[in-house]
Amino acid sequence: MNKSYLFLSCCLGLLLAALVLGIVNLRVSAAISEEPVQSAVSDALAYLQTQQEPSTGGYGTGASTADSTLAIGSASYKASGWKNGAEGLTLMEYWLSNAMGYSRVSAGEAGKLAMGLVAADGCLPSDALKPENYYDPGTGIYHPDSINQAFAILGTAARNQPVPAKAVDHLKGKIQPDGGWKYGDLPFFTTDTNTTAAAVMALMAAGELPSTTEVISGLNFIKSSQGTDAGFFYSDVYTTTSDANSTAYAVQAIIAVGDDPTAGKWVVDSTNPISYLLDMQLPDGSFEWMKGAGSNILATQQVIPALLEKPFPIAPADLLPCPIFIPYVSR
């Protein structure tokens, strides 16, 4: 049996497998690795693609589509090529039609959109808002809520734009006595790992050092929210049960400061947050939010960058405006 025949047989086998799965356009299917993390990411991306709406190129809402854009961008896929089926619209086509509405929700959404489009090698539609469109130079506020302030900073840094010092100071000033950050200022909000992780990543993206008091305090708060299974929970006011979403954000924050989530203080009873995340994956490639809760698309979207060790912002670069096409009109 010659080498050419072996090569042809291998390629035909891979193609047949892709056709059976209905994801022939997903390049990761040909790059499945024996390594647990790489295999988990490949399976998660394959699942994520099956959830994309062929008729819109999106994932139901702008928020879910933004998280998908960040996920595929962290794996070095382009929004212009990501689609479900040969006839489906691409993720970039979705944003060409929906970026305006999504970016006008708040500064946080504008930041998340910019961050995702940079990561997925997209362009910024001309009618989309950028974080700076919301910025008040007098107060340093992109948005009063810490989560949106953090994502606005991350979206600014993702585009290689300088983050105003006042914006950083404002986010620092929102830290709570326990070292964490709250989603917003309303009385029912409590400090939580997700907002704290986003704040830590935003501070690092803005040029703060790991030794910054607020960064250290944020990491200490995150550590205090780690369970015996090495995962992280959202807030002890609600539950002390670990969940994949909170763990993913915590892992990204840990990596953002240059720490290793699989070593040192992050190891609990001989396991670690990455092992916890891998254990949350289901046979179809999706991830559960909590054990026994079933497939969760948001958990799947958020776990992918964490497993790839990609904190926000992912690979900062200039975000160019999308070209304006003049439709052809027959005469």
Q: Convert the pLDDT of each residue in 145-180 to its tens digit.
A: 999 999 999 999 999 999 999 999 999 999 999 999
pLDDT of residue 325: 57
Four-residue CA torsion sign, 136, 138, 144, 147: positive
| Tokens 């309303």 found at | 186
* E runs forming strands in 79-207: 181-182, 191-192
Pair of tokens at residue 59:
């994932």
**What is the length of the chain?**
331
Q: How confident is the model at residue 275 (pLDDT cuts 50, 70, 90)?
A: very high
Q: If you search the block for the tokens 């090529």, which residue do you land on? A: 81
Of 111-125, 180-194, 235-249, 316-330, the poorest mean pLDDT is in 316-330
Model pLDDT, residue 194: 98
